A and B are shown apart, each in its own frame.
Chain A
Amino acid sequence: MTLNVNRRSLLAGGAAAMVAPGIWTTPLPAAAQGTGGGNPPTIVDITRARTEPIPIAIPDMAGTGGEGARLGQQISRVITNNLRNSGLFRPVDRQAFIQTAESAAATPRFQDWRVIGAVALVTGRVDGSGDRLRVEFRLWDILPEQQALGTAYNATSSNWRQIAHIISDDIYKRMLGETGYFNTRIAYIAETGPRDRRVRRLAIMDQDSENNRFLTDGQFAALTPRFHPDATRIAFMSYQRNEPRVYLFNLDSGRQEVLGNFGGMTLSPRFSPDGRSVVLSAVRGGDANIYSVDLGSRRERQLTSGAGLDVSPCYSPDGTQIVFNSDRGGDQQLYVMDAGGGGARRISFGNGRYATPVWSPRGDLIAFTRIGRGQFAIGVMRPDGSGERILSEGWGMEGPTFAPNGRVLMFYRESPARDNRGGGYSARISSIDIAGFNERPIVTATDATDPSWSPLIS
């Protein structure tokens, strides 16, 4: 029945929308027993979810067609994993479920889910005949006994994992009132080999460590990847021809090209929020200054001058300001200047040296690395330098990158060598909530540094 409705709306073109390449969505009408319509409440305050993660029941989606059951189970597991890892949800133990998944997908018995402590329930049905995939998913608000969300996704079967991420984002947004970050990827540097002869390859994976791919072969060291705002390109640094320069990698074509030859080493690239230029640091003579390079004309514009090393520039999300790292005052500190250069003012005044500033996509915070008293730390401060908070402290941590919703950071952490052969050394990526909780290691196939979190894929 619902299938007909959706097919009709899909044909009419009205409600159907493409949410990601090759993935189409249509809203599902409220099921019989829910009042549906309107905008049911269940928005849990994110601050409350941090202290009291939302109990949510996610039975395996029911399946039809050849692959339906298997894909239904896998999609539910990916959603469970995403929500649990956010630290804001507590998936209810499957052993406790009373109603069967198949039966719940047809008609939830709210009482059965209420008694096991769930405040929300995710049900779904997967039709996996042939290489087409149709996933109907519903989010239920247990207390008012209402459907809070209902959507159908149509795509080829190979996109099942991405559909699971999109559904995770749907749930996150509906429950917390904020955009999620699950349908995203991480670009990073995969590191192998002994520490004095490291092979460093550009690599990319889904936010949950799946679909890992190496993008360069390691013949030349790659460093510091950063996503373009459309997520199809990556700026990074490469040692090709023994001339360390900023390169651009096109994820669609797999090709890379040098951004330009600007006389001397170029490093620490970042795209502008409009995606039309790259801001970077270039070393000429004894100084490093910040330049912006137009991607069309490849013309450069010098933004800082004078003595000192100015590195690691990053735009504010509105594109009007740039935060960067400079030792112009004697040691490394953070400065904010106008996007066109000029008006630089120091914002970091705490205890130690500051580096690797990144502006939150929400605009409200700047994350940084602080080094002092032989310890490293990852922290955040407001763009005027006030409200500094340290989120994690330890050896060798640096390079924070924000999730697109500004709620989570990834960074990398080196462990110190315990002997003079470098034994015990490793480099790994971690993530942490910007409130300073839920720090957890990110699984990677090799040692990993320089994470860059993509925007939401759409």
Chain B
Amino acid sequence: MAATKTFLAAVAAAGLLAACSSDPETTASTGGAGAGSGSVRPGSQEDLVANVGDRVFFDTALNGIRPDQRPVLVRQAQWLGQYPQNQVMVEGHADERGTREYNLALGQRRANSARDVLVASGVAGSRIQTISYGKDRPDALGSNEDAWARNRRAVTVVR
């Protein structure tokens, strides 16, 4: 658990294949462990983050996979095809502008949407688990549009 959390902080700093703008200050503050892509172990989470993209972003209150985000999931599916031993957890999240219970359900629905694209792209459903954290595990810690856009996400994590 703790390892995952630390890892997510690193992801925030390293990744950001995101379409949304990212505040450099936020990026710097969430951990300086930028993935040195030269040294990452193939098939690892670091590899997924650095070379594929571990997360997709959603529009406010919606759970549909945006056209601009779909390629990330298709690449994830291809990557999972290369590493058939990998099992993943897809974590769904929401921004803070909602109530806790509804956002838990919304985060679950987002995780399920991402999983569905992975499955449609050839990944066996048995390799994918989903979980929702609602608004309770933000990645960006501010209370502004940029932070909210970064927090409406589904993150694929190698288990």
Contacts and interface: CB of A to CB of B under 8 A. Distances in A.
Interface of A: 194-198, 200, 221, 223-224, 237, 242-244, 264-265, 267-268, 281, 283, 285-288, 309, 311-312, 325, 327, 331-332, 353, 355-356, 369, 371, 374, 395-396, 398-399, 414, 416-422, 425, 449-450
A267 B147 contact: no
B9 to A, nearest CB: 7
B138 to A, nearest CB: 6
Given A420-B23, A420-B141, A355 B98 contact: yes
Given A281-B105, A286-B63, A309-B106, A399 B143 contact: no
Given A196-B138, A420-B29, A421-B141, A449 B101 contact: no
The 9 closest A-B pairs by CB, nearest first: A422-B141, A416-B143, A420-B142, A355-B99, A420-B26, A288-B105, A309-B105, A268-B101, A283-B108
Contact of B102 (A332, A449, A450): A332
Interface stretch (B48-56, B72-80, B129-137): B129-137
A403 to B, nearest CB: 21
B62 to A, nearest CB: 10
A311 B102 contact: yes
Contacts of B63: 286
B101 A197 contact: no
A311 B101 contact: yes
Contacts of B29: 420-421
A265 B140 CA distance: 25
Given A197-B5, A267-B104, A356-B101, A286 B96 contact: no
Contacts of A283: 105, 108-109, 112, 132
B131 A286 contact: no
Nearest to B61: A331
Given A265-B108, A309-B109, A331-B61, A195 B141 contact: yes
Contact of B101 (A194, A264, A281, A417): A281
B137 A244 contact: no
B139 interface: yes
15 contacts: A195-B138, A224-B100, A283-B105, A286-B112, A286-B113, A288-B108, A309-B106, A312-B102, A325-B102, A327-B102, A369-B99, A396-B96, A420-B25, A421-B142, A450-B100
Contacts of A450: 100
Nearest to A267: B104
Nearest to A332: B102
A198 B140 contact: no
Contact of A312 (B101, B109, B139): B101
B104 A355 contact: no
B85 to A, nearest CB: 20
Nearest to B6: A197
Contacts of B142: 417, 419-422
A425 to B, nearest CB: 7
The interface centre, meaning the residue of B29, B101, B136 with most chain A CB atoms within 10 A of its CB, is B101
Nearest to A220: B1
B102 to A, nearest CB: 5
A268 B131 CA distance: 16
A374 B138 CA distance: 18
B140 A420 contact: yes
Contacts of B96: 396, 414
B109 A286 contact: yes
B157 to A, nearest CB: 11
B127 interface: no
B66 interface: no
Interface string B84-101: 000001000000111111
Given A242-B131, A396-B96, A419-B142, 14 more contacts: A194-B141, A243-B131, A311-B102, A325-B102, A331-B61, A332-B98, A332-B99, A356-B99, A356-B101, A399-B100, A417-B141, A417-B147, A421-B26, A421-B141
A242 B106 CA distance: 18
Given A198-B136, A288-B105, A417 B99 contact: no
Nearest to B25: A420
A71 B144 CA distance: 51
A47 B44 CA distance: 66
The interface centre, meaning the residue of B97, B142, B147 with most chain A CB atoms within 10 A of its CB, is B142
Nearest to B137: A196
Given A288-B108, A332-B102, A399-B99, A221 B136 contact: yes
Contacts of A287: 109
Contacts of B113: 286
Contacts of B30: 196
Contacts of B138: 195-196, 422
Contact of A371 (B9, B98, B136): B98
Contacts of A264: 108
Nearest to A242: B131
Contacts of A331: 61
Nearest to B143: A416
B146 to A, nearest CB: 8
B141 A224 contact: no
Interface string B24-44: 011001100000000000000
A160 B141 CA distance: 45
